[in-house]
């Protein structure tokens, strides 16, 4: 029998790549250079590999799935979000999909809290002023921000990361937490996670929030969920934090809300069509812009690799992987 072929689409932390090679699961290709695969590479991969370990920045052509049918058995995604994978097409073509939840919850919530603080207290703007040599010294009216402690945080999506954000905000900063999620969250979970209160809609949360933080998955159901209506419902001077997915926010509406003053600022880690950025983002000093760093710590990125390998190993051994999506 031909040796099983496994492809890792992007460079992983050394420790995780070394383990994958040592596991003896098949011939492992650690693709280099560390750039996104183009369409031709995806189509070639479709007929070549038994297992592919893709990640969030992969753009997988629609024709890939039928072309991979019968050969590719599993896509063990490196990452919790899987909106870059067409789950229905994978299922229809007999391809299992797994992801890597849990291991990036804390670091993503840490980053979201960091973006919230940086946007509220204008840390990026202040640093740029200082580095440019424009700081003229302390004065009572200099770079006034928005108080975080005791303010109301609205959370959209109360899954693992939303809950972790709620705990940080409530326990660390005495924030009141309100949230929206499609599932009715049990009282015990709300109590344990920032004594959070569930509201009926995104607009209701926006109306109460001094800070609105997004933690829902990307994909068709949440595409431009935060639109002009949501911005209109927000308190004037509110701040938006997005560490979820860029396409959850209608970016035209975001710029309008900044122009009208409805939004006092935003801390953003993700963008529609990233890494290409709408040039308007760079025009606003009050925006804190990070390059999709939510899970970017040594510990978490290694753990994501281990989790993807655990899923792959379980699947190839004929067991149900812990993180089977489809």
Q: Which stretch binds ligand DGY (CB under 6 A): 78-86, 154-162, 165-173, 203-211?
A: 78-86
Nearest to 179 by CA among 212, 219, 137: 212
> Is 60 among the residues that bind ligand DGY (CB under 6 A)?
no
> Is 67 among the residues that bind ligand DGY (CB under 6 A)?
no
| Nearer Cβ to ligand DGY (145/157) | 157
79 conformational bin, left if phi > 0, alpha if psi -120 to 50, beta if neither: left
Q: Which residue has the tokens 């650690």?
A: 30
SS3 85: coil
> Is 153 among the residues that bind ligand DGY (CB under 6 A)?
no
Cα separation, 40 vs 45, in Å, equals 9
| Nearer Cβ to ligand DGY (79/194) | 79
Cα separation, 241 vs 227, in Å, equals 14
Asked if 33 and 58 count as a contact pair (C-beta separation under 8 A), the reply is no
Query: What strands, in cross-sheet order, belong to the sheet with 5-8?
Result: 27-30, 5-8, 51-53, 74-76, 96-98
> Is 305 among the residues that bind ligand DGY (CB under 6 A)?
no
CB of 307 to ligand DGY, least distance (A): 10
CB of 261 to ligand DGY, least distance (A): 30
Cα separation, 90 vs 273, in Å, equals 22
| Nearer Cβ to ligand DGY (238/249) | 249
The footprint of ligand DGY on residues 102-121 (CB under 6 A) is 104
> Is 124 among the residues that bind ligand DGY (CB under 6 A)?
no
> Is 80 among the residues that bind ligand DGY (CB under 6 A)?
yes
> Is 56 among the residues that bind ligand DGY (CB under 6 A)?
yes
Cα separation, 251 vs 264, in Å, equals 15
| Nearer Cβ to ligand DGY (56/257) | 56
Active site residues: 245, 274, 292
| Nearer Cβ to ligand DGY (124/294) | 294
> Is 79 among the residues that bind ligand DGY (CB under 6 A)?
yes
Nearest to 193 by CA among 217, 173, 170: 170
Residues in the chain: 326
| Nearer Cβ to ligand DGY (50/269) | 269
> CB neighbours (10 Å) of residue 66?
12
CB of 92 to ligand DGY, least distance (A): 23
Q: Which stretch binds ligand DGY (CB under 6 A): 30-38, 63-71, 75-83, 247-255?
A: 75-83
> Is 294 among the residues that bind ligand DGY (CB under 6 A)?
yes
* Site size for ligand DGY (CB under 6 A): 7
> Is 81 among the residues that bind ligand DGY (CB under 6 A)?
yes
26 DSSP 8-state letter: S
| Core vs surface per residue 113-148: b (16+ CB within 10 A) or e | bbbbbbbbbbbbbeeebeeeeeeeeeeeeeeebbeb
CB of 178 to ligand DGY, least distance (A): 24
- The encoded tokens of residue 95 equal 């391809």
Residues that bind ligand DGY (CB under 6 A): 56, 79-81, 104, 294-295
């Amino acid at each position: 029998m031909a040796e099983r072929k496994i492809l890792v689409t992007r460079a992983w932390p050394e420790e995780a790549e070394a383990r994958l090679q040592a596991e003896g699961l098949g011939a492992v290709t650690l693709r280099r250079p560390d750039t996104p695969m183009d369409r031709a590479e995806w189509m070639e991969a479709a007929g070549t590999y038994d297992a592919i370990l893709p990640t969030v920045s992969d753009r997988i052509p629609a024709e890939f799935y039928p072309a991979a049918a019968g050969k590719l058995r599993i896509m063990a995604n490196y990452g919790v979000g899987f909106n870059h994978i067409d789950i229905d097409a994978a299922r229809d073509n007999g391809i299992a999909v797994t992801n890597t939840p849990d291991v990036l919850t804390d670091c993503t919530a840490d980053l979201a809290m960091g973006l919230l603080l940086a946007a509220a207290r204008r840390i990026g703007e202040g640093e740029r002023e200082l580095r440019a040599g424009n700081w003229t010294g302390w004065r009572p009216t200099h770079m006034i921000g928005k108080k975080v402690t005791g303010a109301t945080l609205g959370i959209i999506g109360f899954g693992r990361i939303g809950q972790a954000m709620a705990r940080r905000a409530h326990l660390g900063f005495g924030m009141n937490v309100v949230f929206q999620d499609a599932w009715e969250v049990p009282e015990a979970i709300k109590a344990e996670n920032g004594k959070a209160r569930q509201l009926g809609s995104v607009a209701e949360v926006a109306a109460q929030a001094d800070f609105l933080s997004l933690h829902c998955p990307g994909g068709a159901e949440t595409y431009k969920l935060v639109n002009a209506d949501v911005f209109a419902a927000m308190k004037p001077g509110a701040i938006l934090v997005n560490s979820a997915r860029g396409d959850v926010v209608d970016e035209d509406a975001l710029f309008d809300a900044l122009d009208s003053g409805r939004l006092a600022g935003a801390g953003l880690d993700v963008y529609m069509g990233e890494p290409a950025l709408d040039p308007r983002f760079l025009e606003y000093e009050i925006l804190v812009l990070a390059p999709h760093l939510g899970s970017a710590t040594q510990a978490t990125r290694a753990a994501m690799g281990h989790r993807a390998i655990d899923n792959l190993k379980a699947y190839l051994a004929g067991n149900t992987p812990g993180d089977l999506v489809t």
